[in-house]
Chains A and B, each alone.
Chain A
C-alpha cells in the first residue's frame, strides 16, 4: 500500500474518532458515535497490516496476541459491575501508558524498523519525541496503577504525604529534562532506561498524596496524560491517526479535570499538590460540637414522601458503595405511582469519576431525562417538598455558601436546605471527605436516617 494512501486512511480513522466523541453530545447519537470509533480502529489496524506488508510467521503471532488481549478485554468489559467503572478506567489508562512505553523502547532498540535511523544514531527530533512519549507513558502507567489500587481499596484512599515531597517531585522532573538532553547528545541506552525508571517513580509519587474524593480529577488527568503519551509516539511514528487521537484524548482529559476542579472550587495545582484531606480531617473531627439532630426511621421517611408532591433525589458516592441504585429506582417507581414528581440532582463531583452517578442511575433504568445537573436543578429545590440525600455529603453542605473560613467555601453546592424537608440517608454523623461537619444535619427540617443506604431505601419502599 502506498504511503500516501495509508496516510489518507489514517486521517480517515482520525476523523472517525472525532465523530465518536462528537456523538457523545447526546445519548441518542452516542451509540452511533461508538460505532464510528470502532470503524476508525478497524481501519487503522488494517492499514497498518497492509502497509507493513509482512505476512510472515510474525503476522500469525500478531493475530494471536491481538486475539488474546482482545478476549481478555472483552471478558472484563462484560463482567465488570458498573460501580467499579472508576477502577476499570484507571486500569485501562495504565495499559495505554505501558503500551506507549513499550512502543518507545522498541523504537529505540530497532529504529530502522520505524525509519528513524540506526541504533546509536537516531534522528534528533525522533529521539526527543520518543523520550517524551516514553516518559509521559511511564508516568501514566505508574500513576494509574496507584489510582487503581486506591479506588479498588487495596491501598488506603487516604493521602500519603511526607516532608519534602514537592521538592522531590520537582527535582525528579528537572532530572527527566536533564536526562532527555543528555540522551539526545549521547544516544546512550542506559540513559533511556534511567529516564523511564525516573518517570515511573514520579508517576507513583504524584498520585500517592491525593485522597479518595479527589479521584475524579486524578482520573481525568491521567486520561489526559495517556493522550499526550499517544501523541508523542504518534510524532515518532509520523502517524496522523495517533497524533489526532492523542490530541483529542489529551484535551478531553484536560477539560474533564478542569470541570472537576471547578466542581470543587479548587485549582488544579491545589488538587495535585494534595491540598485537603490529611490535616483537615483530624481538626474537623476534633472541633465537632454535640448538636441535636433529628433522626427517624423508614416509616417517618415514607410518611413524609407520601405527602409530598415533588421529591428531588441527591445521590452520591455512598449510593455506589451500598449498590443502592436499583433499590432507589424501585422506591422512585412507587412514588411515581402515587403521582409524586421525582427528579435526580447530580453534583459534578459526585462519585469517583466524572459522570459516575449518571451511569449508575442509567444502569438502574432511570430515564436520563429525569436526571439533572447542578445548574439545571438548583433553583427547583426551593419548590420541592422533599430532598432525599443518599450517599452524598459535602456537595450539599450550605457552609460552602456561608462560611469563608471553611475549606470548601465557594464550592458550588446543591441548595438542598431550601427544600421543605430533607431526608438524609447516612450511616453515621461522621464528616465527609473534606473533614468538615455538615450544617444540614442540624437543620430544623432535616430528618437523619441512620442506616445502610440500600437497606433504608428498601424499607421505605415497603412502608410507602
Chain B
C-alpha cells in the first residue's frame, strides 16, 4: 500500500510527478450552456464536472427536499425548513455518471453519501450567496460528474461557485475549495510527514486527506471535511496547505470569470455598462 509514500521520500515527487505544493491543472469555463441561467464546466486534473444553475425563480413543487437549505440565517441549522426563512432556497442535485469512475457502478437514488454532498454544497453556498434578496424563491444547482479522479467535493464546490457567478446571483465572494493530504498513513507515526496539496484518486485512497473550502481570499473556512484517520498534530499543516491552495484556486476562478467577461465585451455580447466599469476589464 504505501507505494506512494516510499516513492515520495526518494525524489520528493508524487505519483503523478507533482511536488507537494502543486495543484493539478485546473481548466474552467463559464456560460457553457446557452439555455441555463448560469453554467460552468470545471476540470481538476482528470476530475471533470459540469454545473447548471437555474434561478432565482419561483420554487417548484419539490420543497423541503434533502440538500435544500433555506438561505439567510438558516444556513448552518440542520433541519431548518424553508418555511420561515426569508431568503431563497438553495437546492442542489448531483448526478454521478455511471462511466465516471473506473468501476462502472450505478449509484442508488437515496445514496447517503450523495445526499451529504448535496447538503454540504447547499449549506456552503447559502451562507455566501445573498439569498435574502430573493425571498420566496429557489436557486436550483444541478451538478453532473463526468469523470472522477479525486477531490470530487472540491471540484463540485468550485463549479457551483462559477455557475452562480455566471447566473449573476449576488454573493459575498468566491467559495473556492481544494484538498490537502499528508504523506504517511495514520499508522506510521511519522512526525516528519509532509503535507500535500490537491490529492488525486490514488492518493485519496492511500493517504489521510481533507477537503477545505474558504470564502474568497480570507482564512475563513466554509467547509472542512475529513473522512480519514489522521493524527491531530497533522491537522494544522494540512489545513494551512489547504487554505493556501484555496487562495490559488480562487485566483484561477477569478481569472476565468474576468477572461470570459472581457471576451463578451469584445464580442459585443454585452455592453460595457455601468456595472462593468468598476470591474477592471483590461
Is B truly associated with A? no
| B interface residue numbers (CB < 8 A to A) | none
